Structure 1
Amino acid sequence: MTDGTTDLQALAAEAYIYGYPMVRNLDEVDHVSRKGMGSVAPAPFNEFSHGSKPASPDGPAAPTADANNDVIYSVAQLDLSGGALLLTVPDTGGRYYVLQFVDAWTNNFAYVGRRATGTGAASYLLTPPGWDEEVPPGATRIAAPTEMATIVGRWACAGPDDAAAVRALQEDTHLEPYWTATGELRGLPTHTYIPDEEPETLFYEKLRARMAAFPPAPADGTYQKRFAPLGLLDAESPYARPEPELAEALRAGFAAGKEQVEQEATRGDGAQRQNGWQRTYHAFDYNADHFEVGTLKDPQWICADRELGRMLRATSAHTALWGRHGYEAAHAMAWDDADGRPLEGEHSYTLRFEKPPPVDAFWSVTMYGLPERNLVDNPVDRYSIGDRTPGLSYDDDGSLTLRLQAQRPADDKTAANWLPTPEGRFRPVLRMYTPRAAVFDGTYELPPIQRS
């Protein structure tokens, strides 16, 4: 193997890490628009599709991320190539909700909802790159960095009896073409046909076509030029019949890049561990360029190291595509108990909150079985527990002790605080919606999970 081939393989691995988030994201955009997602039915571009119920063990609720039993989803895939869209949202009467805007490169570039914009009725004009027309009176502009984007809506739902109220709010959430829009949509960029048995080559071909259609921020546009030797900047595809040296480099680089992303995703950041919990508060800080309505342009929430940010973007796309910034909802997960032993359903555990998580919305702990990371089926249909759970039993000092175990506790007081586990390995996830500063500055410490 020549040094030139080795260099080309290393470049292909680097290109995989860089391009994986957009390729993965737009593949999911295509899939959800055609096949749907959990209770969210398929829908054409520029139309909302609304889920009908919180997630359950019946199926997934979001791509690659853990199913969320706290909310009901709404999803809209945006194609702004035909012009601007007008979004109107209803008054939710204080109910927590968030509409999260994700561009083609997986940047969370805007938020509309209780934390970001309040819960009153409002209108927003969603505009494509280069748009320079007047914004209608009463509307707030949200400029999308790329012509394609995704709105991921999450509506707080307290259970099946609350679903009808959420549905009414969903039906009052509208997306329509602005009057100057042409309605002619380009859709996902087409790419040269690559046989199914060549997934490595197909990946780079998709990346080539999509990089051209959806340019990144200028800083990354400069960085992209280093991939010219791979053919990723070519106007015509070099991948239908690649030269042997290039084909070998793409195969090896694809495998190496994929391995790096998977290793990084499972290794995690030890500095973010606390009492057995892995805190993922900063998993989406890779957006350093696009700050529209509801985002925080604050160094605390921006990864200044672009090389690190590219890997962070890739691992987040791999494990939690369409996840939110920590300031919207902070997540922590645990695989082990306080003594470092794996969490297993043959044992009973307690999780004692001396003080509840400091939030402005609400918090919950959701149970997932391993290795599939599915919600845990149980006879009481309880998949999460938190401050909205009816009938919780607090201790005399105001603390709250949750019981994590497979079998129902014998006494009613303990059973009121029971979060059922599977018989085998499991992993709980703590979600804190609109967390306060104490969650991030170390003032608030997550409690350990103790084996009984």
Structure 2
Amino acid sequence: MKTISYIIAFTTLLFSFSCQQKTTKEENLKEVAYEAFIYAHPMMEQVKTLNGMFDFMGMKPNVPAMNDKFPMDNIGLPIVAPNFTSMTGGVFIDISEGPVTVEIPEVKDRYIVYQCVDVFTHNFYYMGTRANQGEGGQFTFYNKHQVVSNDGSTPVLMEGDHALIINRIDIKDRSELERVREIQNAIKVVAAPEKTKAYPAYDKEKAFSPRFVEYVNDLLITVPEPEVDLFDRFKAIGIKNEVALSKEQLSEVQAGIDSAYQAIKNENKNLEIGNGYFTSNDIFGTREFLDGYYIGRAAGADFGLWGNSKEEANYFMLYTEGEGEINFKSDELPPLTKIGFWSIAVHDENVLVAKNKYDSYVLTMDQMQFEEDGSLTLKISSKPEEGNWLYTPGGKMVIGIRAYQADPEKIGDYVPPAFIKG
């Protein structure tokens, strides 16, 4: 259900990246910078966001950092597309000086997910309800240059020195707060080296200048094997290579950067699937899943970092305005597996959420009132209404649908019903 422009852009980028030749002195530096910036943009966006988390959450390498607030207590904070149904936390993994072992508890009474994101923003590993049926255990993160001891833990291979484990734990109401905090406190790092590697500080001016290559050089310990030819080409602008570029050459590189960022913005427009909805279903996943779709990975970072792989969760966003309703026929509800669930929320035009006097922010599947035929009508307006209702002050807004544990055979073609303005 993708647009023709999406298909053309996707095919063009695949051809561009798969047919590269080794760099020569005559190589067009603007073209190299264009490709390299698209490759590196998600890595730099992650550096920016992690630096914010270091300040906001006090996150440190190899130390669990949990947000123990009830989700509704985060309303009003500068969190993009906040999750109202889960309590969240994370572990910033640093294996630069040796493997790191994380211990997680068994959780069978609710949905839980541990999403592991590497320096490229690939979702390279999962634990939790879907991935290992909520079993507890120890998981040792390492790279290919390190030796993992045979201690009974599950080895997890990483690319790069750093990764982020993002955990989300389902919570229905405040009565479950103590139980969820108990789970959070049981997430531990049980083995880690004393020393860690300095993580890059984010500088926007640097990230959008020819110096962006420094981020790639800092973050990558080795060139990924599938991308050796690609990095041979990137050497021309200083990635994994020392170069001295003239003022004119730096100007060429900057032109490539500017063009690449515009292409990323344009690609976001190509994520529309119908009825005005955008989805991130095909821009988050493993290296193998993305398979060289670098502009998609970059668009994903711009769309919103750390989206789950589609087998775990699917996201649909609609940018609209005014008041109105969405009418779901029974066969127009998000397609789910037996353990699946979904929710819908309303955000402001910046995908943030401010407090409102009605405490109306999200509707989860178990809160919805369905008709006898399985259909559902959702009303979105500035005044309370009977049935399924969410508040909007009017003006521009973003409607967000989250579908967890979707039916993999149907979710790829799913398009939510249109928002009908009243």
Q: Shorter-normalised TM-score: what interval?
A: 0.7 to 0.9
3-state SS of the aligned residue for 1:248?
helix
* 1:68 Cα deviation after fit: 1.8
Structure 2 residue 383 is the aligned partner of structure 1 residue 407 = yes
**Distance in 2 between residues matched to 1:450 and 1:103, nearest whole Å:** 40
Q: Is the 8 A contact 2:86 2:170 kept in 1?
A: yes
Structure 1: state its 5+ residue gaps.
289-301, 336-342
Partner residue in 1 for 2:298: 314
Q: 1:60 aligns with which of 78, 88, 94?
A: 78
Kept after mapping to 2: 8 A contact 1:101/1:151? yes
Whether 1:127 aligns to 2:105 is no
Q: Which residue of 1 aligns with 2:12?
A: none
SS in 1 for 2:321: coil
**1:166 offset after TM fit, Å?**
1.3
Give the distance between the partners of 2:181 and 2:207, measured in 1 at CA: 44
* Equivalent residues of 2:90, 2:164 under 8 A apart: yes
**Distance of 1:259 and 1:199 partners within structure 2:** 12
Cross-structure match for 1:326: 310
Take 1:108 and 1:344, find their aligned partners in 2: how far apart are those partners? 33
The match for 2:58 among 42, 45, 48 is: 42
Instruction: Tell me how large the CA RMSD over aligned residues is.
Output: 2.7
- Say which SS state the counterpart of residue 101 (structure 1) adopts: strand
**Aligned CA distance change for structure 1 residues 9 and 90 (closer, same or farther; 3 Å):** same
Specify the alignment match of 1:259 in structure 2. Answer: 262
Alignment of 1:338-417 (within 5 A): 343-345=320-322, 347-355=323-331, 356-359=333-336, 360-370=339-349, 372-389=350-367, 392-409=368-385, 414=386, 416-417=387-388
What is the rounded CA distance, in whole Å, between the counterparts of 1:197 and 1:190 in structure 2? 10
Provide, for residues 353-392 of structure 1, a one-character-per-residue CA deviation record: whole Å limited to 9, x for no partner.
425433323210011111x121253222121112133xx4
2:227 to 202, 211, 220: 220
Q: 1:16 to 1:168 in 2, by over 3 A?
A: same
- 1:94-140 Cα deviation digits (max 9, x unpaired): 31111111111111100011010112322212223322333312x21
**In the alignment, which residue of structure 1 is the partner of 2:396?**
425
Length, aligned pairs only: 393
Report the AA paired with residue 389 of structure 2.
W
1-structure distance, mates of 2:415, 2:305: 27
Match of 2:42 among 17, 21, 24: 21
Where does residue 107 of structure 2 map in the other structure? 92
Residue 186 (structure 1) aligned to one of 197, 207, 222: 197
SS at match of 1:362: strand
Cα displacement (A) at 1:248: 1.2
Taking the TM superposition and a 5 Å limit, the aligned residue runs for 1:33-182 are: 33=54, 35-36=55-56, 41-53=57-69, 54=71, 56-61=74-79, 66-137=81-152, 139-177=153-191, 182=193
Partner SS for 2:131: helix
Please name the residue that 2:13 is paired with. Answer: none
Kindly state the Cα deviation for residue 196 of structure 1 after the two structures are TM-superposed: 5.9
Per-residue CA distance 1:154-197 (angstroms, 9 max, x = gap): 1112234433321111001111225xxx4222232699xx9968
1:190–1:285 CA distance, 2 compared to 1 (3 A) = closer
Check the 8 A contact 1:60/1:67 in 2, yes or no. no
Q: Report the Cα distance in structure 2 between the residues aligned to 1:358 and 1:243, rounded to whole angstroms.
A: 56
Contact 2:114 2:166 in 1 (8 A): yes
Mapped partners of 1:157, 1:446: distance in 2: 25
State the distance in 1 between where 2:317 and 2:206 align: 37
CA contact (8 A) 2:124 2:285 kept: no
Given the two structures, how large is their TM-score scaled by the length of structure 2?
0.85
SS at match of 1:395: coil
1:216 Cα deviation from its structure 2 partner:
4.2
Q: Which has the higher contact order (CA 8 A, sep 6+)?
A: 2
Quote the residue 1:206 is aligned against.
Answer: 215
Tell me the CA shift for residue 29 of structure 1: 2.6
Conserved in 1, the CA contact under 8 Å of 2:92 and 2:163?
A: yes
Q: 1:109 to 1:401 in 2, by over 3 A?
A: same
Q: Residue 9 of structure 1 aligns with which residue?
A: 30
- CA deviation after TM superposition for structure 1 residue 286, in Å: 6.1
Which residue is equivalent to 1:448? 418
Unaligned residue ranges in structure 2 (runs of 5+): 1-24
| Conserved 8 A contact 1:230-1:246 | no
Worse-superposed segment, 10-19 or 323-332: 10-19
Provide, for residues 56-107 of structure 1, a one-character-per-residue CA deviation record: whole Å limited to 9, x for no partner: 431234xxx5222221111111110121222111122331111111111111
Aligned to 1:338: none
Quote the offset at 1:6 in angstroms.
9.1
Partners in 2 of 1:163 and 1:85 — Cα distance?
29
SS of the residue 2:234 aligns to: helix
Seq. identity, %: 22
TM-score (norm: length of structure 1): 0.79
Give distance in 1, aligned partners of 2:197 and 2:102. 21
Which residue identity lines up with residue 248 of structure 1 in the other structure?
S
Distance across 2 between alignment mates of 1:402 and 1:380:
16
What SS does the corresponding residue of 2:154 show, helix, strand or coil?
strand
